Structure 1
Amino acid sequence: MDIALILSAVIAVIIILVGLGIYNDIIARHNGVQRAWSDVLVYERQKTKVLDQLQKVLADFMVFESSLLEKITGLRSAINALPAGANGNALTNVETASREVMGGLRIAFEAYPDLKASEAANNMMREIAEQQENVGAAITIYNRNVELFNNAIEMFPGSVVNGLFNKKIRVTPFSDTEASQGFSYTPNA
């Protein structure tokens, strides 16, 4: 009988330790998602700083391209309106506005190549493109962290531990519907 009691105690300790490990893993993955989202916000806000400088340079262009200023202002507002909490859906408007601004800038520079500000503006466009690449990389990392977190809270035994203790909810990854419309392939569900 002493062996059965000792064996039961060892099994109970193992179950508790495994449960604590799963609980801590869920918390760590949730924190990873929040950190990755913060990185996306940092890159978007860095892009805002470059846009502020670009806005000054584009004052020379405003005679030719008044709508571009509105698009840049709208993009800055969209970036500043991103929530502090992880939300892949909120990033859709910002990425669409970024594409519109970049397209408008390319058209403006091609139409008016002799403007004195064009070289500075071209340098800033390269900086914005680099910032946009950073945002893309941060989104990739964010979506990977979201996948790992969602798997941790939805798959057994993490779903049991999460249901009993953490009560964390599924996080929405970022998806670009505009980009996905260009593909005819869809994975089998």
Structure 2
Amino acid sequence: MKKSVKILIITILVVLLIFIPIVGSYNSLISLEQNVNTTQSNIDTQMQRRLDLIPNLVNTVKGYATQEKSIFTDIANARSKLSGATNVPEKADADNQLSNSLSRLLVIVESYPDLKSNQNFKDLSIQLEGTENRIAVARQDYNTSVTQYNTKRRSFPSNILASLFDFKEKPLYKASNGANEVPPVDFAH
């Protein structure tokens, strides 16, 4: 073989040895970013399910607790804020407000024994509880996918590609303030 052919083959091999890991790293970043987007959409889906259930639950409770008007306004406002949220921090804040309002609603329910025995209320409560569990799992899945993506994004040599192709760090879904405090339980009523 001629010397120029050998140099060309060696050059091609060196370029391939550099190019293949870059393509693999880029594709890995794309895959992880898509996973983050999917898990974020799963949170949105479960939150929408909860938003759809809440009017039915509220209307059932309204029939029993007509004097408790402020809680219904708070729930409506929190639902509206959550529906209009566009990014993870806004969604987390609005979700926390909605969760707080729902907690207050459940305290009201404790004052109405007939309501607690109403089958519609029981069914809606079970569906809402299941949805809350699904939201918690979706948040955990999202945070796992964000951690994997952010780790890959910050690791060498992916960090070079991430900066070249503008892969941004994704925020984790954080618990609300006071989430680590145990809520009081009062059976004195």
Q: Would you say same fold, with TM above 0.5?
A: yes
Give the shorter-chain TM-score range. 0.7 to 0.9
Does residue 109 of structure 1 match 2:109? yes
Matches within 5 A, 1:36-185: 36-83=39-86, 87-115=87-115, 118-164=118-164, 166-179=165-178, 181-182=180-181
Determine the C-alpha separation between the residues in 2 that align with 1:56 and 1:68. Answer: 12
The Cα RMSD (Å) is 2.3
Identity across aligned pairs (percent)? 17
TM-score by length of 2: 0.83
- Cα distance, 1:128–1:115 mapped onto 2, change above 3 Å: closer
Q: Over residues 110-165 of structure 1, what are the superposed CA-to-partner deviations in whole Å (9 max), with x where a residue is unaligned?
A: 1111248843223212211111110111011111111111112111010111222x
- Specify the SS of the correspondent of 2:113: coil
Aligned partner of 1:172: which letter? P
Determine the C-alpha separation between the residues in 2 that align with 1:116 and 1:43. Answer: 25
Give the Å deviation of 1:51. 0.6
Tell me the residue number matched to 2:18.
15
TM-score by length of 1: 0.83
- Cα distance, 1:89–1:133 mapped onto 2, change above 3 Å: same
Q: 1:36, 1:138 within 8 Å by CA — same for their partners in 2?
A: yes
- Cα distance, 1:122–1:105 mapped onto 2, change above 3 Å: farther
- Cα distance, 1:170–1:70 mapped onto 2, change above 3 Å: same
Q: 1:60, 1:117 within 8 Å by CA — same for their partners in 2?
A: no
Determine the C-alpha separation between the residues in 2 that align with 1:58 and 1:117. Answer: 12
Determine the C-alpha separation between the residues in 2 that align with 1:16 and 1:46. Answer: 45
Give the Å deviation of 1:54. 1.4
Q: Over residues 19-45 of structure 1, what are the superposed CA-to-partner deviations in whole Å (9 max), with x where a residue is unaligned?
A: 111111111111111111111000000
> Greater CA radius of gyration, 1 or 2?
2
